[in-house]
Amino acid sequence: MKRNLLKAIGISFLIFVVLSWIIPTGTYSNGELTTNGIDAVGVFDLFGIPVTTIMTFAMYIIVFAVIGGLYGVMEKTGALPEWIKNIRRKFEGKETGFLVFTILFFVILSSVTGLIVPLFILVPLFASVLFAMNYDKITTMASTVGALLVGSVASTYGFNITGYTKNILSLDMNNEIWAKLVILVLVTALFIFFVLKFSKAKTKRVAKAEIKKEVKTETKKAAPKKETKKAAPKKTTSTKKKKTTAALAVAKDVKKVSTKKGVSTLPLIIIVALLMIVALVGMYNWYYSFGIEFFNDIHSTIMGVKIGDFPIFEHLLSGISEIGYWGNAELIMLMVIASILIAFVYRLKLGEFVESFIAGMKKMLPTAIYAGLASVILTVLYQASYGGTGTLVDTLMAKTFSLTDDFNVVSAGISSLYGSFFYNDLYYLLSSMQPYIASLDASMLNVAGLIIQAMYALGMLLFPTSVILIAGLSYFDVKFGSWLKYIWKFALAVFIVLIIICCILTVL
């Protein structure tokens, strides 16, 4: 199954390679495109670029691997299975309600914060509960990872979405906020309807299959038994893999997983909650979003504390950025600290802690590597940006925008959508598109910013260059083709909704 993802990523890269031999690079300035010739990807680049990608985006790989380590420790304590069991018991008979709650939880947090990577920490927890409720893996993925990406489509104050749009296009954080709220409500309602419809149909098929299985079993039991020689006692060990509701299913990789009953889940809940709060507060850029200097001032004050003439905290806390400027390095540090606290509170021995942490990382490592490889095209474009000759994407966008004399919602939307295939980071996509929309009337910039960020996020729900999508597909062991077949109708409906809303905004 995992090779299917490698195939999807590889085909995406080969599409870009072929285009690099056909479409010339270009730079756009003052309304004119200057072509700079073909910048083709060579034979040796086919092998070198993936390696460079792994090295360039190693931090992403480490983040996902450490998420695995965190869950390995949580599972080892026995508190995680107990937590999952308690939630399952609480929502007995209310499975649909929990499914809807999960979708709303991830959509809203993603829309408000835009911090999808740290929010991915909670995906295994919610997924475990949904699996315990017998939801299939594609429904579970849609309700967690899919919901995170849907929240990006309907981003309201997410810094990594709306914040980038604000700063690169010189807009306000409240730009078209009412339109964003309308999109959030409509897209979320549409997504809930879509997921429930699919999960309901799936449940019916599963129920029918189970009924047939029971009938066959009863028929076999009813059949008269023939007298045969006494058979040797069968071994009770089964070669089939047991179904597990464990968050990472690392139990088989961790020796002597805790089987204690009645383990208190309260310390684990508190530590996980604190981890998420600190991560989200620390990684959300308050200054560039709303001009809030509170955290910057606190950092300056603390770093300015001296003992005599020696700045004690400047040296003691060296390497720690201001709250609001934290990145993946700080997120990794927080997860490691949380893992150590959990191990300490639940009295895991050092060997048990190390063993469970490593086992969890090993289980998550394939997902981490695939997530890193998803940026293989961005690696090429990122390197090309230093050359100053532009990229083939610039040429494509210049041709698309030249189809109309004035700003057009449809052409801007299509450009943003296919642009997200090449640029899986909105910052780079906006930087690439900025020259084409810089000359727009100020009133149109608001709509342009909205359509670009929404279509980019929609692309991340569809394309195998999306880091979070690839991570989700790998984690849930879902084929890319199966996901595309599942999600395309919803994506088409969202595309139409976005075009209609933005067209209305242009005439208001």
Mean pLDDT, rounded, for 134-143:
95
Mean pLDDT, rounded, for 20-38:
84
Is the pLDDT confidence value at 428 over 70? yes
- 40-74 exposure pattern, b = at least 16 Cβ within 10 A, e = fewer: ebeeeeeeebbeebbebbeebbbbbbbbbbbbbbb
Mean pLDDT, rounded, for 63-77:
96
Are the C-beta atoms of 99 and 126 separated by less than 8 Å?
A: no
pLDDT digits (tens, 9 = 90+) for 398-419: 888 888 877 889 989 999 999 9
Is the pLDDT confidence value at 240 over 70? no
Q: Which among 69, 11, 59, 144 has a CA at the least distance from the CA of 468? A: 144
pLDDT of residue 222: 47
- 262-271 exposure pattern, b = at least 16 Cβ within 10 A, e = fewer: ebebebbeeb
Kindly indicate the confidence band of residue 358, based on its pLDDT and cuts at 50, 70 and 90. Answer: very high
CA distance to 99, 171, 483, per residue, from 96 (Å): 5, 40, 21
d(CA 90, CA 107): 23
Tokens 């700003």 correspond to what residue? 407
d(CA 124, CA 145): 10
pLDDT of residue 436: 82
How many residues are given for the chain? Answer: 508
Are the C-beta atoms of 278 and 330 separated by less than 8 Å?
A: no
Residue-by-residue DSSP string for 121-163: GGHHHHHHHHHHTT--HHHHHIIIIIHHHHHHHT-SS-IIIII
pLDDT digits (tens, 9 = 90+) for 264-291: 999 999 999 999 999 999 999 999 889 8
In this predicted structure, which of 11-25, 194-208, 356-370 has the lowest mean pLDDT? Answer: 194-208
C-alpha dihedral over 221, 227, 229, 232, to 10 degrees? 20
Instruction: Give me 57's structure tokens.
Output: 């985006």
Kindly indicate the confidence band of residue 260, based on its pLDDT and cuts at 50, 70 and 90. Answer: low
Calculate ∠ Cα 405-407-408, nearest 5°: 100
Are the C-beta atoms of 471 and 124 separated by less than 8 Å?
A: no
Is the pLDDT confidence value at 387 over 50? yes
Contacts 24+ apart (CB under 8 A), 201-210: 202/136, 202/139, 206/134, 206/136
Confidence (pTM): 0.87
Q: Is 41 left (phi over 0), alpha (psi -120 to 50) or beta?
A: beta
Task: Give the domain ranges of the chain.
Answer: 2-210+246-285+324-507
Instruction: Give me 152's structure tokens.
Output: 């990006």
Is the pLDDT confidence value at 337 over 60? yes
pLDDT of residue 351: 94
133 CB-near residues (< 8 Å, 6+ apart): 88, 91, 95, 98, 99
pLDDT of residue 335: 97
pLDDT of residue 271: 97
d(CA 402, CA 81): 57
Tokens 């997200």 correspond to what residue? 420
CB atoms within 10 A of CB 296: 15
